[in-house]
Structure 1
């Protein structure tokens, strides 16, 4: 199933007839609007049969007539894997790298970092670049949405705790500032338009994906090339902290990162998960 947040922060799902069916009544009545998806994920085992019935029946609002928002606007935590593809490591360091002659450490050493959850934006928004005199890059990634509370889970069992997957862009300021600072500007984590539930992604460790800027392909890879695969990331992060329903893990980006500029359009395509289109603008 493909679940979403739409219009006035309602939670919904894409039905078989192409409409968006409202699921908001399935979460507690007084749940704050931004927390509805987290609540739905937490209740999923109780409500998924009802959701399946509504998806099959349809009769909602036509997809073209709704405004799709970030499908998980307010996770408790937003984790990200640093340098998780070997070819990306090569393009960042070395003689011709972004950080010339710098030793670039991969996720095997750096493990992970946190991004501000306020950096999340949906397909209804835009990537806003705050400064004209600095370089900002696109990074194509998979967003992994945690489905159940978990602590110290093994990689062998880790995927059982995944609710679903979504296209995710990790927009990055290049420079000497701390990684969390450079990646936490407002709008620097576009996600969506849907979360595809894990049962519809039989092998998340073998997902093809690619990114274009104004139609020019910049990045193309497969999650099989991850240094730390999705299950391993969950194992590593859950060893340190308890993962909560609705938490997001960004898997890291492959080679091909490049600068983005106001006026351009970035498109991330993941055939089994979805396509995210984001315009780039200057901050006003």
Structure 2
């Protein structure tokens, strides 16, 4: 099922005909559009298995609308944290040696190993967003890079989740850009500016995607391919990322987990339009200002 948030954070199901059906009224409680108090979304993430039947029925009987008639929002709401994996594609590890030599004048060896870190939830924006380069980074002459990634949205979540049970804790997947300032600052700081976590265009539930291990990721700018990879090339696959992250922190319903940057990261500049596609999920674009 493709779940989308649109307009005033209404819940929609996207159909195969590029249509969307508003299924908000099939939710068991009142709809609250405020991201600060919208506990219904986290409840949906946690209880999707029991709510999916009613949502499917509402999608089948509701009135489809063209996607062009609605404004898609980020397919998460009120998330407690954004967890991100670092150094999860071998070719990206290799290219980061050159990137760090150019932007830092040295290679930080500790940053070449797989790990996870946190980004600010306030960095999340939806498809079609305009991302403004941070004035302080621009003034300092720092490069700001794109990183296109498969993103996991946590369902039931948990703590110390075994690898073999990890996908039971996942609601689904979406596409995301981990926008990054290249500087000597802390990783979380460089990746947490407002707008630095575009997500979209919607969420596809795990029953349609599996464990995310065979998806094509592609990022273009002005028709030029900048990143292209299959998720089978991940060093640490999705179930292992979920298990590892949960060994340090409780993963709560609605949490977001970036799975790592593929090779091909590079600078972005005002006026550019980035278009990202993940097979079996969909496409989104953002504009740089």
For normalisation by structure 2, the TM-score amounts to 0.90
- Following the alignment from structure 1 to structure 2, what is the Cα–Cα distance between the partners of residues 98 and 221? 24
Structure 1 residue 84: Cα displacement: 1.4
User: SS state of the match for residue 45, structure 1?
Assistant: helix
- Following the alignment from structure 1 to structure 2, what is the Cα–Cα distance between the partners of residues 220 and 141? 11
Structure 1 residue 41: Cα displacement: 1.5
User: SS state of the match for residue 86, structure 2?
Assistant: coil
- Check conservation: 1:167, 1:270, Cα contact below 8 A: yes
- 2:19 — aligned with what? 19
- Per-residue CA shift, 1:61-81, capped at 9, x if unaligned? 322101101111321111001
User: SS state of the match for residue 192, structure 1?
Assistant: strand
- 1:62 — aligned with what? 66
- Indicate how the Cα distance of structure 1 residues 236 and 28 shifts in structure 2: closer, same or farther if over 3 A, else same: same
User: SS state of the match for residue 277, structure 2?
Assistant: strand
- Check conservation: 1:166, 1:193, Cα contact below 8 A: yes
- 2:30 — aligned with what? 29
Q: How many residues align?
A: 280
Question: Superposed, which structure 2 residues align to 1:265-284 within 5 Å?
Answer: 265-281=273-289
- Following the alignment from structure 2 to structure 1, what is the Cα–Cα distance between the partners of residues 287 and 111? 30
- Following the alignment from structure 2 to structure 1, what is the Cα–Cα distance between the partners of residues 49 and 32? 18
- Check conservation: 2:124, 2:199, Cα contact below 8 A: yes
Question: Superposed, which structure 2 residues align to 1:147-226 within 5 Å?
Answer: 147-226=155-234
- 1:53 — aligned with what? 57
State the Cα RMSD in Å.
1.9
- 1:83 — aligned with what? 87
- Per-residue CA shift, 1:51-106, capped at 9, x if unaligned? 11122334133221011011113211110011211211111115966544414446
- Following the alignment from structure 1 to structure 2, what is the Cα–Cα distance between the partners of residues 220 and 104? 26
Structure 1 residue 39: Cα displacement: 2.9
- Indicate how the Cα distance of structure 1 residues 135 and 107 shifts in structure 2: closer, same or farther if over 3 A, else same: closer
Structure 1 residue 19: Cα displacement: 3.1
Q: 2:243 aligns with which of 235, 241, 260?
A: 235
Structure 1 residue 265: Cα displacement: 0.5
Q: 1:116 aligns with which of 91, 113, 120?
A: 120
Structure 1 residue 153: Cα displacement: 1.2
- Indicate how the Cα distance of structure 1 residues 13 and 104 shifts in structure 2: closer, same or farther if over 3 A, else same: farther
- Check conservation: 1:137, 1:257, Cα contact below 8 A: yes
Structure 1 residue 32: Cα displacement: 5.2
Moved more, 170-179 or 79-88: 79-88
- Indicate how the Cα distance of structure 1 residues 47 and 254 shifts in structure 2: closer, same or farther if over 3 A, else same: same
User: Aligned pair 1:102/2:107, yes or no?
Assistant: yes
Q: Could you list the runs of 5+ residues in structure 1 that have no partner in the other structure? A: none
In the TM superposition, structure 1's runs of 4+ consecutive aligned residues that sit over 6 Å from their partners are none
User: SS state of the match for residue 158, structure 2?
Assistant: coil
- Following the alignment from structure 2 to structure 1, what is the Cα–Cα distance between the partners of residues 234 and 103? 20
User: SS state of the match for residue 12, structure 1?
Assistant: strand
For normalisation by structure 1, the TM-score amounts to 0.92
- 1:9 — aligned with what? 9
Q: Could you list the runs of 5+ residues in structure 2 that have no partner in the other structure? A: none
- Check conservation: 1:15, 1:54, Cα contact below 8 A: no
Structure 1 residue 29: Cα displacement: 1.4
Q: 2:154 aligns with which of 146, 150, 156?
A: 146
User: SS state of the match for residue 231, structure 1?
Assistant: helix
